[in-house]
Amino acid sequence: MQIKNINAIEAKRLIDGGALLVDIREANEHADENIPGARNTPLSLIAGTPLAGAPAVVFHCKSGARTRMNAAALAACTDADAYILDGGIDAWKAAGFPVKRG
């Protein structure tokens, strides 16, 4: 399955509609700052983690670089439509959406 890049506004719409938001950053990064409701599954562990039960999955990191570099591996983790939050949590904040800090 091919993974698609979407902006923060599109990601928010999908998440509000039931998509699973997956933060692929390491646990310490997620603990420092995260998007409320995001499931933290670090890239180093994601290959063995089933991501089922959602109509779509939106992956994010800090800036989008990690998700883009690992797009094929991320898409292989789910049978649902898969997306990358282009610009990561930085783009989410720039769009004015909430984050939770430490």
Give the predicted TM-score (pTM) of the model. 0.95
pLDDT at 100: 97
Overall domain count for the chain: 1
Mean pLDDT of the chain: 94
- Residue among 14, 61, 74, 85 flagged as catalytic: 61
Tell me the pLDDT band of 1, cut-offs 50, 70 and 90: low
| % of the chain exceeding 70 in pLDDT | 99
Helix (H) or strand (E) holding 66: helix 65-69
Structure tokens at 89: 């949590």
* Model pLDDT for residues 49-95, shown as the tens digit of each residue: 778 888 999 999 999 999 999 999 999 889 899 999 999 999 999 99
Spatial neighbors of 97 by CB under 8 A, at least 6 apart, are 8, 12, 35
Look up the domain containing 40 and give its range. Answer: 4-101
CATH code, 43? 3.40.250.10
Q: Is 77 a catalytic residue?
A: no
Q: How far apart are CA 4 and CA 86, in angstroms?
A: 9
Q: How far apart are CA 64 and CA 69, in angstroms?
A: 9
Inter-residue contact 50 to 79 (CB < 8 Å): no
